Amino acid sequence: MIGLTSLTAKDPPLLPKLDPVRAGFVIERIDDILRWDHAVEARRDSKFVELGKFMCEVRAGQYWRIENLKSFDEFLEKRFPDSRRKAYYLMSIHEHLPKPIKKQLPQIGWAKAVDLVKLARSERKRFNAAIWARRAREMPKEEFRVKVQQHLNGDSEPFDFVHFKLYKSQLPVVEQAIETAALMLGSDKSRGYCLEMICADFLAGAHAASGDPEILVNALVRSYILLNQEQKFACKARIESSDRKLAS
C-alpha cells in the first residue's frame, strides 16, 4: 500500500525560474513585431488602392500598347499570372464607389473597400456612403466584413471561415458551379450560400433513392430556404400538383 501511494502521488510542478529582464525583453519584441505587421498591412492596403486606380487608367488609356500587347487581359495576365481576380477587385473599388468614399480609400484600405463595393452594388441609390465609410474607418477588418455580410443577408446567423486548397486545374469547375448557383439564387447571395446550394443538391441526389431519408429532407429544406420568393411559389405549385396526381 505504501509503495502504491508513492507511485500515484503527484508532486506539484516545478515553476521555471523567472527572469524579469528577459521576460520583459521578449514580450516587448512580440509587441514590436505585431505593431510592425499592422503598419505593413495598413501600408499595403493603401498601396493596393492606388494600384487599382492606376489599373483603371491603363485600361481606359490602353497603355498596354507601349509593351506591344494585344489587349488589357494580356496585360493583366503578365502582371497577375496566378489570378486576375484580385486585379478586378481593385479596379471595382474605383468603378463602383461614390466620390466621397474614394477620397477616404487610403485610410480605409482595399480589403474593406471590396466589401463596400458589395454594398454599393447591392443597394445602389439606397447606399449610405457616409455611414458605411465611417464604419469602415473605425471597425477592424474582420468585424467590418461580418457587419457587411449581416446587412446583405438580413440576419445575424453565426458563421465561420472555411479555407480550401484548390489546384489551378480544379478552379474552372468550382467557379462555374458557384456562378451557376449564383444565377439561380440571385446576385445578392454570398458565395457561401452558393456553395451550400451545391452541397444540398448533391446530398439530395445522393440520398434520393436508398440513402438516409433524414439527410434527404434536410438537404431539400435548405435548398428551399435559399430560393427567392418567386422560386418558392413555383416550387410549392409543383409539389401541390404532384400531390394531386398521386392522390388521383
CB 192 within 8 A of CB 150: no
pLDDT of residue 186: 66
pLDDT of residue 244: 79
Concatenating the DSSP letter of every residue in the chain gives -HHHHHHH--PPPPPPPP-HHHHHHHHHHHHHHHHHHHHHHHHHHHHHHHHHHHHHHHHHHTGGGGGT-S-HHHHHHHH-SS-SHHHHHHHHHHHHS-HHHHTTHHHH-HHHHHHHHHHHHHHGGG--HHHHHHHHHHS-HHHHHHHHHHHHHTS------------TTTHHHHHHHHHHHHHHH-TTS-HHHHHHHHHHHHHHHHTSSSS-HHHHHHHHHHHHHHS-HHHHHHHHHHHHHHHHHHH-
Residue with cell 484600405: 109
Rounded to the nearest 5 degrees, what angle is found at the Cα of 100, between the Cα atoms of 35 and 115? Answer: 55
Residue with cell 430560393: 227
Q: Sign of the C-alpha dihedral, residues 143, 147, 149, 150? A: positive
Q: pTM here?
A: 0.48
Question: Grid coordinates in use for 34?
Answer: 505585431
Q: Mean pLDDT of successive 10-residue segments in the chain (248 residues)? A: 49 81 92 89 82 90 92 89 81 84 82 86 83 87 84 69 80 83 69 82 71 73 74 82 78
pLDDT of residue 63: 93
pLDDT of residue 157: 63
Question: Grid coordinates in use for 218?
Answer: 434536410
pLDDT of residue 195: 85
CB 80 within 8 A of CB 86: yes
